[in-house]
Chain A
Amino acid sequence: AQTVTQSQPEMSVQEAETVTLSCTYDTSENNYYLFWYKQPPSRQMILVIRQEAYKQQNATENRFSVNFQKAAKSFSLKISDSQLGDTAMYFCAFMKHDAGTYKYIFGTGTRLKVLA
């Protein structure tokens, strides 16, 4: 069975600094997708960034980038130039698609606080 582990329940970072959130997963699959979702306080969860396992190149979205290490089963999120609006709960997620069935596994989340 697949598992997703986020070992940092809480983190803080000074505004404008860089922070890295860690995520490891366990799977025997070769083709899958990995995601980071952001859930701001009292607001809807939104997708931050997505990585297809078959792509070696790390995904980037503006200030957000990932370090995807397939062999190590590691998928960390780096936030550069942190902003107060980045304060949120961040969830790492694994998804496998197989014959119409979508299997999503979420980590337990990392609560990030950006300090002014």
Chain B
Amino acid sequence: DVKVTQSSRYLVKRTGEKVFLECVQDMDHENMFWYRQDPGLGLRLIYFSYDVKMKEKGDIPEGYSVSREKKERFSLILESASTNQTSMYLCASSFQGRVSGEQYFGPGTRLTVT
């Protein structure tokens, strides 16, 4: 079974703190994604990576950065957390070669910024 894990299920941070969310997948997937999930807005793509050290901005990259130093690990960084970044963050991964398109999701990190 494909496994995508995220470093924390719940996280509480203060405004202005630097926040790291980590995602690890164990299936040698080339593609990795960070989404933000908010009620009534569905999933919105923050960043996408198709290879080590490669990244592309998604629909809402402002206030976020990412790092992919190893194929299995994709980190989301909030340089200076703000209250409007309180949300559920989902990581996902997928194969690049097979264009079946299926994404495998992690359990999510619910981040609260106070």
Contacts and interface: CB of A to CB of B under 8 A. Distances in A.
Given A108-B40, A109-B42, A50 B50 contact: no
B5 to A, nearest CB: 10
Given A44-B106, A102-B94, A104-B33, A97 B41 contact: no
Interface in B80-108: 90, 92, 94, 96, 99-103, 105-108
Interface residues of B, number: 26
Interface of chain B, main secondary structure: strand
Contacts of A44: 4, 105-108
B50 A45 contact: no
Contacts of A50: 100-102
Contacts of A45: 90, 92, 105
Interface of chain A, main secondary structure: strand
Interface string A83-101: 0000000010101010011
B101 A91 contact: no
Nearest to B90: A45
B31 interface: yes
B43 interface: yes
Given A47-B102, A47-B103, A106-B42, 14 more contacts: A4-B42, A9-B40, A37-B103, A44-B4, A44-B107, A45-B92, A50-B100, A50-B101, A50-B102, A101-B56, A104-B101, A104-B103, A106-B35, A108-B41
21 contacts: A33-B99, A33-B101, A35-B101, A35-B102, A44-B106, A44-B107, A45-B92, A46-B105, A47-B102, A47-B103, A91-B42, A91-B43, A100-B50, A102-B50, A104-B33, A104-B103, A106-B35, A106-B42, A106-B44, A107-B42, A108-B40
